[in-house]
Amino acid sequence: MTPAASPEDQAIETKAAPENAGDDASAETSNAAIAHESSATPTANDNSTDSTGLKGWWKVFASTYVTIFLAEIGDKTQVTTLLMSAESHKPWMVFAGAGTALVCTSLLGVLLGRWLATRLKPRTLEVGAGITLLIITIGLGWDIFQGL
């Protein structure tokens, strides 16, 4: 554990230097510092025990995987690949092309998200992202409704 500065300094540092959060030792001290001003940021420290960094990674991976997988099953891309492989009788060729395209579009998406993250305030981004996900929810709800 690094020798802690005064609680106020530490709290300021937490806000100013987010990259410190990756380091276990400093994360512990900054969690302690956050606890001092927990009334100001009541939700910020729920998940920020950084000893669970790897766990958090897998949680994000798993939730993204499951949700996107379920959303894409039976969707137009899957139908496209299905039809193309049925028509050509070369499923692996179709999969090679489709797979490369899917990796590219996901990479573009995440990179665009990261770029936006450098432009927008974290909270603005979160609200925007939250609303976007709700719009996707409504879109899926519409698909379900139309399919009934």
Partner 1 sequence: MDWSLIGLSFAAVFLSELGDKSQVAAIALGGSSKYPKAVFFGTAAALLTASLIGVLIGEGTATLFPPQAVKSVAALGFLIMGLRLLLLGDGEDDTTEATD
Contact flags string 81-100 toward partner 1, x per CB under 8 A: xx-xxx-x-xxxxxxxxxxx
DSSP code string of 104-144:
HHHHHHHHHHHHHHHHS-HHHHHHHHHHHHHHHHHHHHHHH
Q: How far is CA 87 from the centre of its chain?
A: 37
How far apart are CB 5 and partner 1 at their closest, in Å? Answer: 17
Question: Pick from 1, 39, 40, 114: which binds partner 1 (CB under 8 A)?
Answer: 114
Dihedrals phi, psi of 100, to nearest 5 degrees: -60, -45
Q: How far is the CB of 144 from partner 1 (least distance, A)?
A: 5
Candidates 40, 47, 51, 52: give the one binding partner 1 (CB under 8 A).
Answer: 47
Closest CB to partner 1 among residues 5, 108:
108
Q: Are 48 and 20 in contact (CB under 8 A)?
A: no
Q: Which residue type is seen at 103? A: V
Find out whether 57 and 51 touch, Cβ atoms under 8 Å. Answer: no
Nearest approach, Cβ of residue 142 and partner 1 (Å): 10
Residues binding partner 1: number (CB under 8 A): 93
Our finding on whether 112 is near partner 1 (CB under 8 A) is yes
Of the residues 2, 5, 9, 15, which one makes contact with partner 1 according to CB under 8 A:
15
Report DSSP state, residue 130. H
Give the footprint of partner 1 on residues 52-71 (CB under 8 A): 56-58, 60-71
Hey, which residues between 21 and 40 contact partner 1 (CB under 8 A)? 21-22
CA angle 41, 62, 130 (to 5 degrees): 45
State the minimum distance, in angstroms, from the CB of residue 55 to partner 1: 11
Q: Which residue has the tokens 């998406």?
A: 109
